Structure 1
Amino acid sequence: MHYTQLRPVHNRWSYAISNVKENLWFILLSSLGILFILYGAAFAVVTFTPLVPSFISPKQTSAPDLADGIRQWPTVDNASAPIAQELCPGYYSENVVRTTNGITAWLRIAGQPCNIYGKDYNDLILNVTYQTDNRLNVRITDSEDIQYVIPDDVAKAPVAETNTAQKYEFEYNTQPFEFWVTRRSDGDILFDTRGTKLIFEDQYLEVMTKMEPNYNLYGLGEVIHELRLGNNLTRAMWATDLSNPIDSNMYGSHPVYLETRYGGDLQSRTTSTSHAVFLRSSHGMDVLLRPETLSYRVLGGIIDLYFYLGDTAIQAIQQYVSSIGLPAMQQYWVLGFHQCRWGYKNVNDLRDVVKLYREANIPLEVIWSDLDYMYQYRDWTLDEKNFHPDEMHHFLEELHANNQYYVPIIDAGIYAGNPTNLSDVYDPYTAGLDKSIYALNPDSSLYIGNVWPGYTTFPDFYRNANTLKWWIEAMRNFSTLVDYDGFWLDMNEISTFCTGSCGNDKLSDNPSCLFDFVGSPSTDYPEGFNVTNSTEGFHADSAKAVMAQIMPAVAPDAPVQLDKIGRNVNYPPYKIKLAEELLNLASHTLSPNVTHHDGTLEYDIHNLYAYTETMTAYKSFLELRPNKRPFLLTRGTFPGSGSYAAHWGGDNSSKFYYMAFSIPQVLSFQIFGIPVVGVDTCGFGGNTDFELCARWMQLGAFLPFYRNHNEITSIPQEAYRWSSVAEASRIAINIRYSLLPYWYTLMYRAHVDGTPMVRALAWEFPNEEALKDADRQFLVGSAILVTPVLEPLVTTVNGVFPGSRNDIWYDWYNYTKIEVPNGKNVTMDAPLGHINLAVRGGSILPMQEPGYTTTETRKNSLKLLVALSSEGVAQGEIYLDDEALVPASTLNVEMTVADGSLSVRSRGKFVITTMLSKITILGVTSKPKRVHFDSPVVVNWAYDETSRILTIFDIDKFNGSDLKSFNWTLTWAESDTST
């Protein structure tokens, strides 16, 4: 059975009569729209097509009051709220048992229970486990085993391994019970609860640590914020659908932080140390960062803390990521350039976009479909009028024949058929009913949401084997219609436009759509648009009035609906600090009292929803395409999501400041263990312009995941629409594609040990405290420094070249040494279309001649770019494989330079069919007398005394077996000691 939607049958006359009013409005609005288009065309100078999007037929909309709810005042902002640290008694320890692997003890309440934000537990159990030499686990649970604990079959907890010499010390006081964690090497106290109380209630846990003055913390996401968090904010963890609010909770929950310390005596410390702390919890929580303390305030569960000793920032990240699940190795094509838009209304639109990219000679790897391809926004369907299966089949055949790929969107909400309309048949929904896969209300009725197709149900991915079977069946049926190459998992935080269940009585209104886009094109443009775009777009003012949000106290009649163990989960006594747009925990997402099939409440596992959907999709891919790496892009994330999927930053806006925020976004996800991450290049919401899009297309080329995407009410923003953007994109994508062997090696390194693919300057230069805030520059791997323009109306950019006076940087474009003081803020030329790149001395970059696709690029000749350090040394690596889930053949190449020789050694059976054609060596201080390989290969070489560049070329004409297998040595200085 194929999941093509069976369309409802209507009497055409009765249908027309019932829609006369709607059609008249459509005619009126369309007429106004035509006038608007004509007006815009008079002022627009655009390369290919008009900037105004096509209008959409109006659809029935649901009542807006369904999103209403009772606003909750965040407890942390309520001056009259009781303070648990002052009123609760804390705990004392007894029956302490020490073993070689850790400590166990009983914790007893140290006085009268306070019961402030829930019911206090009198007795707790402490388990301290020395998991590895660098990892410590402190776990506190209730003795009654009532509180929720994340099961290993859902998300594996970090596993204890053999350890011989712990680099930490766990110490404690008995009465009151307090603990602190110390690094043995320097006596640095990393976590210290002394002087604070442990609070453990059924709906409120609190643990607090003292912090160093002016501490440096990173992580605690997902959030739009500078990379360094500061010490006066509250970070809420509650996954929800909000379009990239600044400094508020959004799509993912990652309660892990990285801390870097430059020492108490800043003058005497010559290097920094870093460590990480992870609170393993799926509950909503506040993390309070204050000048002298950090506090966790969690809505339930247990205290399950993990400490990672580092010592460097990258080591701490590696230790954390390795413990939660190493990132998936993606297919090579994922590193290409991707194009999407909500508004590709038929197959011809997709075909035209692919065609126009090729005509503009802008490499395109993947074309995506947003909701447009579905029948009435319903998953696993095709709109047979605009995306007929036969047309899609022909289009995807053409696409794949050209080594390009296709990825469609799948939303989490499943349209619920209208029970009063027998013709409203939607097979995936009824199949789900048959398998009992949907989330429920406490009374076991279906929980009904409202998303794009109308009223929906939500698959229960939590420990429900039937849901996996249903997803596999849906994927299998859909694959007969669409030869997809991956899936885009959206709206999976999970998103719904009702606050609480809409109610089963609403199903008779289906099909219903919440939003009507008729006649509402965006008039929002980037900062500086009026200056730069007076002749290249609409003359529009991008300024918007900001409406003040009034936050009343909790209504006195807030309902109290207790669960089976006496908790008020929908309106818990402690209210976490949600984004101001959110009324309460159920706003924009599932109600906390949603009941899963094993009886678990959404309250306890809400932040796991997207993770469990992603894991289900990943398993389904493997069932249908064994040993082929699945490609999934997910919006909602949780620790471990990187083992299954890539991520993008969600619904950002076409603003320069959002482009700037994309750098800390991507860097933060390196900490979170999801390295293949990017943002919607040129912005999702609002209109871009040629200046912003050109700058962003060049920045995006140096982020791990690279996709241009925007919404239906905004102007189209494909890279070919402005000549300046097209040229900037060609340059950037060609650089990206030339570095594909380097990118793939970085992805492999992240896959095997959690090393970040892109890096903050402070991580690579841990001795330079001045870099602790730096997030307007970043590094691709350790070798390429990127300094993008992040503001409008400028032709220069400021940045630093980090390192000591012995560190060398080379200009990417001309390979010459950059002669500026290290660590000093300098101004660089940055005309539109140019992004400043520098290569770090001591690096060896594997490269290829760029082609139109990643497949074509891989067929081109290989090159090596060797950038010598001031000591004349360098190193690098190459990893390649057959791209199977478990590769049958791999190749690891290690490259090192010392004493005027480049040594290349490899292991593995993967065979490279392309030849090595050129080696460029930067920083050779004098002309060699002789250049030769250790095998009988003719060497053609040239040396430029001005730039000090040695070039070995035409190697592919003489490639012997050793060169092909990457086992050789090139020497250029043994007879010239001056180098």
Structure 2
Amino acid sequence: MNLWLILSLFTSILAVKDYLFKPCEQNGFCNRNKHYSKNVESSPYNINEINFNSEGNFISGIIHKSLPSRTVKLPFEISIIEGNFRFKMNENRQDINSIVNINRYDETPKWAFINTTNDQFIYKNKEIIYRDHKVAVQFNPVKFTFYYKGKPQLIINDKHFLNFEHQLLNDSDLLPFESTYNTNSDDFPDSKNDKLPLGRESIGLDFTLLEFNHLYGIPEHADSFSLKDTSNSEPYRLYNVDIFEYETNSKLPMYGSIPLLVTSKPEVSLGIFWVNSADTYIDINKGKDSSLVHFMSENGILEFIIIIEEKPQLVNYQYGKITGFSTLPNLFSLGYHQCRWNYNDEGDVLDIHSKFDQFEIPYDAIWLDIEYAENKKYFTWNKETFPNPEKMMSVLDRTGRNLIVIIDPHIKTGYQISDELLAKEITIKDSQNSTYFGHCWPGESVWIDTLNPNSQSYWNNNHLQFMKNNKNLHLWNDMNEPSVFNGPETSSPKDNLHFGNYEHRSIHNLYGLTYHESTYKSLINRNSNIRPFILTRSYFSGSQRTSAMWTGDNMSKWEYLKISIPMILTSNIVNFPFSGADVGGFFGNPSKELLTRWYQTGIFYPFFRAHAHIDSRRREPWVVGDPYTGYIRDAIRLRYKLLPVFYTSFYINSINGTPVIKPIYYENLDNGDIYDIDDEFFISDTGILVKPITDEAESKVNWIIPDDSIYYDFTNGVLSGVYKDREYGLGDIPMLLKGGSIIPMKLRYRRSSKLMKYDPYTIVIALDKDGKAYGELYVDDGESFNNDHAFIKFKFENKKFSYCIDGDYLFKLEKLIINGITVTNFKNNTIVDFDIDYHDEL
């Protein structure tokens, strides 16, 4: 690949160009489904056969699609999976002479789900009854009405948008309101070579949400937290792509996809999990009394799961039982990460490392982008710039620091790794079943097919040899959408083939998940007792089990700081809490004020990393100079003081899915004014309420208090009097603490989280109106899968402080801060007759 072509490809993707990405009207399946929804008058689908098995755990049958010349039979199955309604509909396709697997792709649950079980339910008089749930089944046409606690909450196919594009036997094998647009070809300029060997095979379905007007989820989009009405605009699109300098307030697809839409109202919360990994659009129409959601996917079986519970946290819990909860991460990974593209050599890395200590700023990991490898050949080191990486890592390890390097799925042709991938036939194939060659950062590349089970042992061996015994070396999986510079929409051609001869169009959105999960398994193979840390850019439902994510290539502008909060909130409410945005912005050069405010926001991202483009000026915390360096140092130190809060929050999330950063509407579903608030949030259930300043030259914060509880000023992590309006200078981090909360902190400065291990705890107590408060703390070794731990519950009642410990892991209490007053003269675990009222102003 010559230099001109490399520069041409690079330049072409440096900024978002809308014409590179398919709008709905030019994307065959979306165009056809929109045409269908506008023209259908009555649904042609009806249930003809139904059987309820004797064990009471599934219904099977046949849905008939009535055509003018014949009837298409579509097998379906209904079950209750982990307490939630599940529907699947497939198609028996006729064999054709094709390399491609003709069966509709039905293996998305294999990657997205954990081991699940079906529950028993009652089916009687066309009603499915399960606990407080009832589903009324209408046979002709097919319709499902969901009841919860006796009231209807959701209707499926009420608008007759159910559209299952059957295998065409001839050109006239269609209904009058079905379209043939791009059935066998693709006229979008960037994907005109797509062969579409199976023709049209899309699916679509409508969901009518009764009295629900606030919808959330379906990441990833750089848009508001509350989903917008798309009646007069593009639908939201889920299609994992490498989108440079993405725009804010946009429905364009991004790097990841989680097809879970959630909604809440007083006493009822609901989730729609669209179990499909193909290109997908979601249309939303918000009416006065209900909302209409229209899902459309390019192919695959029709499968969805409905979750209906009383509270949004219970939707998180139910979804987590299906797709798994986040594994409790390494403690170090919750600290501060320093990254740029690229640190030049070993001397550069160690200089940055030493300057953190010089300026007394804690950090836990330094990162290396693609330039560390020899000619961008992964699993190698550039011998000129990194001649002794083991020695470099040992220096970092002395103060508990870690090194994280990038390994992407594109493998440069012409060296041992790619040669062996070819020899073992574990690459992604083209439409003719030969290895696909495309272009990415190394030039001509091949891609490992991590859907192929034969790839895992090879991946294990490569990681074992490359990582050796470097216990503080961890991994970054980028470009795994997959990004293909010369591919359609900067990604893999949809007619490429994966293991089982399934087309890439069927699995596109889960490829990134298969890649980072393969890496996870390789790290477990390397050391089965240490929790791996992996950062992924591309993700799907289930990615939360094995990785962290970040919001990709943002820009050093105020609007990107502002949009990062709703983006990360969205990730949290769909059970992917370990998320963050590049602090400072990846592209460009932030002003000193913007950089400061971004750090003050970033300390609350569950994943806290600064990152910058190779052409950006250096911007490590000390570069900007005082007073800004001092403000940034204070912010990073506050993150470390709060590490016990974040670690405990991640532990709670790992067992029940509670978001690590939580929207304020979770706190009070009866307050209709707070459902759309996306610029402030709670840290889990700790009572810490945060509202970062994300506007230039702003010092005023207009707090939205979600309930009638008392709130205390907690600015910069210092508890003072009852909250009052105040100005926040550039050195101030706006925080409140809800009355009734007890939070654990570690206040001593250490250079890394590992060096904090034996430090004692300071317990901060904010009393409610009745003089009571409660809190929790989880403690373990911070890195292994060992079960040794302590879970501590704190209580303050009747002017007495006490705590109980489940487990015997080390816990040392240094002092208490009660409504801002420090107490150190306590014995054992009790304070008697602490004389302070909740309303005391200090």
TM-score higher than 0.5: yes
- Quote the residue 2:247 is aligned against: 245
- Quote the residue 2:740 is aligned against: 842
- Quote the residue 1:919 is aligned against: 816
Q: Are the aligned partners of 1:364 and 1:853 in contact in 2 as well (CA < 8 Å)?
A: yes
1:744-893 alignment to 2 at 5 Å? Answer: 744-782=647-685, 783-804=687-708, 806-812=709-715, 814-820=718-724, 828-850=726-748, 851-883=750-782, 885-893=784-792
Distance 1:809 1:188 in 2: 41
- 1:128 matched to 2:78: yes
Distance 1:868 1:977 in 2: 5
1:680-759 alignment to 2 at 5 Å? Answer: 680-722=582-624, 723-759=626-662
Distance 1:399 1:590 in 2: 38
- 1:469 matched to 2:457: yes
Amino acid at match of 2:582: D
Secondary structure of the residue aligned to 1:729 is helix
- Quote the residue 1:944 is aligned against: none
- Quote the residue 1:52 is aligned against: none
Q: Are the aligned partners of 2:771 and 2:837 in contact in 1 as well (CA < 8 Å)?
A: no
Comparing 96-105 with 321-330, greater Cα deviation is found at 96-105
- Quote the residue 2:425 is aligned against: 436
Amino acid at match of 1:108: H
Amino acid at match of 2:49: N
Aligned-pair distance for 1:803? 1.1
Pick one of 404, 407, 417 that aligns with 2:404. 407
- Quote the residue 1:592 is aligned against: 494
Aligned-pair distance for 1:90? 2.2
Q: Are the aligned partners of 1:878 and 1:892 in contact in 2 as well (CA < 8 Å)?
A: yes
Pick one of 43, 47, 53 that aligns with 1:93. 47
TM-score calculated relative to the size of structure 2: 0.86
| Cα 1:294/1:889, change in 2 over 3 Å | same
Q: Are the aligned partners of 2:57 and 2:118 in contact in 1 as well (CA < 8 Å)?
A: no
Q: How many residue pairs end up in the alignment? A: 764
Q: Are the aligned partners of 1:811 and 1:839 in contact in 2 as well (CA < 8 Å)?
A: yes
Q: Are the aligned partners of 1:215 and 1:230 in contact in 2 as well (CA < 8 Å)?
A: no
- 1:677 matched to 2:595: no
Distance 1:112 1:136 in 2: 33
| Cα 1:335/1:365, change in 2 over 3 Å | same
Amino acid at match of 1:110: S
Amino acid at match of 1:921: I
Aligned-pair distance for 1:92? 0.9
Amino acid at match of 2:813: L
Q: Are the aligned partners of 1:694 and 1:724 in contact in 2 as well (CA < 8 Å)?
A: no
Distance 2:718 2:526 in 1: 48
Aligned-pair distance for 1:950? 4.5
Secondary structure of the residue aligned to 1:215 is coil
Q: Are the aligned partners of 1:96 and 1:103 in contact in 2 as well (CA < 8 Å)?
A: yes
Distance 1:72 1:231 in 2: 20
CA deviation vs aligned residue, 1:226-261 (integer Å, no higher than 9, x gap):
100122251111111003333210111111111112
- Quote the residue 1:51 is aligned against: none
Amino acid at match of 1:798: N
Distance 1:431 1:954 in 2: 67
- Quote the residue 1:215 is aligned against: 213
TM-score calculated relative to the size of structure 1: 0.74
CA deviation vs aligned residue, 1:103-159 (integer Å, no higher than 9, x gap):
33321113337xxxxxx98111222212344x1112222245931101654343672
CA RMSD of aligned residues (A): 2.8
Distance 2:639 2:714 in 1: 16
- Quote the residue 2:833 is aligned against: 972
CA deviation vs aligned residue, 1:840-899 (integer Å, no higher than 9, x gap):
111110111232211222222211111111122211111112345432311111122222
- Quote the residue 2:524 is aligned against: 622
Distance 2:11 2:58 in 1: 52
CA deviation vs aligned residue, 1:3-39 (integer Å, no higher than 9, x gap):
xxxxxxxxxxxxxxxxxxx9xxxxxxxxxxxxxxxxx
Pick one of 275, 279, 293 that aligns with 1:280. 275
Comparing 99-108 with 896-905, greater Cα deviation is found at 99-108
1:444-463 alignment to 2 at 5 Å? Answer: 444-462=433-451
Higher relative contact order (CA 8 A, sep 6+): 1
- Quote the residue 2:165 is aligned against: 201
- 1:256 matched to 2:253: no
Aligned-pair distance for 1:815? 2.4
Larger Rg: 1
Amino acid at match of 2:57: N
| Cα 1:194/1:638, change in 2 over 3 Å | same
Distance 2:766 2:515 in 1: 45
Distance 2:432 2:58 in 1: 44
Secondary structure of the residue aligned to 1:789 is coil
CA deviation vs aligned residue, 1:733-785 (integer Å, no higher than 9, x gap):
22211121111111111111111111011112222111111111111123111
| Cα 1:819/1:840, change in 2 over 3 Å | closer
Q: Are the aligned partners of 1:213 and 1:291 in contact in 2 as well (CA < 8 Å)?
A: no
| Cα 1:800/1:279, change in 2 over 3 Å | same
Amino acid at match of 2:565: I
1:438-587 alignment to 2 at 5 Å? Answer: 438-462=427-451, 464-480=452-468, 484-499=472-487, 586-587=488-489
- 1:344 matched to 2:343: yes
| Cα 1:885/1:305, change in 2 over 3 Å | farther
Q: Are the aligned partners of 1:801 and 1:809 in contact in 2 as well (CA < 8 Å)?
A: no
1:58-97 alignment to 2 at 5 Å? Answer: 61=6, 64=9, 74-75=24-25, 83-85=35-37, 86-87=39-40, 89-97=43-51
Comparing 683-692 with 472-481, greater Cα deviation is found at 472-481
Point out where structure 2 has 5 or more consecutive residues left out of the alignment: 14-18, 94-101, 122-129, 167-200
Pick one of 137, 141, 163 that aligns with 2:90. 141
Secondary structure of the residue aligned to 2:355 is helix
Point out where structure 1 has 5 or more consecutive residues left out of the alignment: 1-21, 23-57, 114-119, 262-270, 418-425, 500-585, 821-826, 923-948
| Cα 1:438/1:670, change in 2 over 3 Å | same
Distance 1:668 1:977 in 2: 34
Distance 2:435 2:585 in 1: 37
Distance 1:72 1:359 in 2: 50
Q: Are the aligned partners of 1:346 and 1:372 in contact in 2 as well (CA < 8 Å)?
A: no
Pick one of 172, 186, 189 that aligns with 2:153. 189
Q: Are the aligned partners of 1:697 and 1:725 in contact in 2 as well (CA < 8 Å)?
A: no
Distance 1:880 1:168 in 2: 38
Distance 2:386 2:838 in 1: 69
Secondary structure of the residue aligned to 1:598 is helix
Q: Are the aligned partners of 1:110 and 1:176 in contact in 2 as well (CA < 8 Å)?
A: no
Aligned-pair distance for 1:190? 2.3
Comparing 644-653 with 313-322, greater Cα deviation is found at 313-322
Aligned-pair distance for 1:818? 2.7
Amino acid at match of 2:422: L
Comparing 147-156 with 848-857, greater Cα deviation is found at 147-156
| Cα 1:841/1:455, change in 2 over 3 Å | same
